[in-house]
């Protein structure tokens, strides 16, 4: 991506223009949440100013307009994932999507002595729902180990798959290390034994194109706020066959065909899983974000971030006392690191005073931190609007932090 193009993209994000503690903001906390371009903010305003009404069943013009906008957003998400829109369920985010699958598919298909396979690098939202399910059903959680570089041990993974395995749930991209997992290989091995695969795509969707058909996965979950869209909206992709076999997640309005005191007939997917009034504005805002990114080109975004990650990795390598955590051969723009004996929270606090926003802590990956032998890390995460100036500000601020602690 040319420097002029990158500068123009940056101007699309109004929040990035502000000063923090008198310094230009270098926002490097994108793995936590991304900033929103004008087109998304404007689309939300337009919806509430011109289209706001409840969707489905309404007979007036506003309801029809809102319904069309909502269902067109579903089409946009389906196109983004290369999925049929009927395979797209709107949810609050990745966490709800995983809980939905655990509460429906999981409770229907997992029984005593069955097994669910996850990995050592999972976010808590892709561990705890399965732990709860295992406790309720008498099943067992099996763990794919990782290497010291932060990559999955695929031989160990293959050995974990048995006749008792009912689901593999694995992240596409590690939020704590940036590791990109070989999903097609993971799916191929699982499908060879008739085991479905759920992919946590929260950290993958902002960094490049996602094709669920090519990946071959059975479920794919992501959050809008990590894709330059609104908070409180996300999507779950599920194959038609699995969604049709699953009972409702929540019950109430808009997920039924008919109700009597004797019997209720549920709607077909995806509406079966969307009880109550949905986040209509969130859905249309998410669609606006996807259209914005598609206009730039996901391959261009990936190339830009790849170059920026290389530049940032080199910059951190030149700072004495900095050790990068997670050195997988294939990773996206996430750099977790530790600085000598300085606690990551102190590092983040000092960097904030220099206008640099990063994340510090266990990143909702406490089992991973235990495996890596660290209590926490500092994490700088990149997005399409970041540039060399942001990395230079990070590097300078880290030198300042190092100087303060001797």
Q: Is 115 helix (H, G, I), strand (E, B) or coil?
A: strand
Q: Is 325 helix (H, G, I), strand (E, B) or coil?
A: strand
Cα torsion through 339, 341, 344, 350, rounded to 10: -80
Q: Which position among 109, 134, 217, 364 bears the catalytic label?
A: 364
Pairing outcome for strands 115-119 and 88-91: unpaired
Q: Is 365 a catalytic residue?
A: no
Handedness of CA 318, 25, 234, 304 (dihedral sign): negative
Long-range CB contacts (< 8 A, 24+ apart) of 221-225? 221/91, 221/94, 221/97, 221/98, 221/101, 222/94, 222/97, 223/93, 223/94, 223/95, 224/93, 224/282, 224/285, 224/286, 224/289, 225/33, 225/34, 225/93
Burial class (CB in 10 A: 0-12, 13-18, 19+), 199: buried
Across 301-322, b (16+ Cβ under 10 Å) vs e yields: bbebbbebbebbbebbeebeeb
Burial class (CB in 10 A: 0-12, 13-18, 19+), 406: exposed
- Asked if residues 365 and 123 have their Cβ atoms less than 8 Å apart, the reply is yes
Question: Would you name the residues annotated as active-site residues?
Answer: 364
């Amino acid at each position: 991506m040319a420097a002029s193009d990158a500068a123009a993209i940056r101007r699309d994000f109004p929040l990035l223009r502000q000063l923090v503690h008198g310094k230009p903001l270098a926002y490097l906390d994108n793995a936590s949440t991304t900033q929103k371009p004008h087109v998304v903010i404007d689309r939300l305003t337009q919806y509430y100013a011109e289209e706001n009404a409840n969707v489905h069943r309404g007979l007036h013009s506003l309801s029809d307009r809102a319904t069309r906008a909502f269902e067109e957003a579903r089409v946009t998400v389906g196109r983004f994932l290369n999925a049929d829109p009927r395979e797209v369920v709107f949810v609050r985010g990745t966490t709800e999507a995983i809980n939905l699958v655990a509460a429906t598919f999981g409770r229907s298909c997992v029984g005593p002595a069955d097994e669910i396979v996850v990995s050592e690098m999972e976010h808590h939202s892709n561990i705890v729902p399965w732990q709860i399910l295992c406790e309720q059903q008498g099943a067992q959680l099996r763990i794919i180990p990782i290497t010291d570089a932060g990559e999955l041990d695929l031989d160990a993974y293959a050995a974990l798959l048995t006749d008792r395995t009912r689901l593999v749930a694995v992240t596409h991209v590690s939020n704590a290390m940036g590791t990109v997992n070989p999903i097609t290989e993971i799916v191929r091995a699982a499908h060879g034994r008739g085991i479905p695969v759920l992919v946590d795509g929260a950290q993958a969707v902002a960094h490049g194109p996602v094709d669920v058909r090519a990946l071959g996965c059975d479920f794919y979950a992501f959050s809008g706020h990590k894709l330059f869209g609104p908070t409180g909206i996300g999507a779950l992709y599920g194959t038609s066959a699995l969604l049709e076999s699953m009972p409702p997640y929540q019950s109430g309005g808009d997920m039924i065909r008919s109700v009597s005191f004797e019997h209720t007939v549920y709607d077909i997917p995806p509406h079966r899983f969307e009880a109550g009034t949905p986040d209509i504005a969130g859905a249309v805002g998410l669609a606006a974000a996807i259209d914005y990114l598609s206009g730039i080109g996901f391959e261009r975004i990936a190339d830009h971030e790849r170059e920026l990650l290389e530049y940032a990795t080199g910059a951190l390598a030149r700072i004495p006392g900095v050790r990068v955590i997670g050195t997988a051969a294939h990773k996206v723009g996430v750099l977790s690191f530790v600085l000598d004996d300085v606690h990551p929270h102190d590092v983040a606090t000092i960097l904030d005073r220099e206008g640099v926003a990063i994340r510090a802590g266990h990143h909702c990956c406490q089992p991973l931190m235990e495996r890596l032998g660290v209590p926490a890390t500092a994490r700088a995460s990149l997005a399409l609007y970041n540039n060399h100036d942001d990395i230079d500000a990070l590097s300078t601020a880290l030198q300042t932090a190092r100087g303060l602690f001797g």
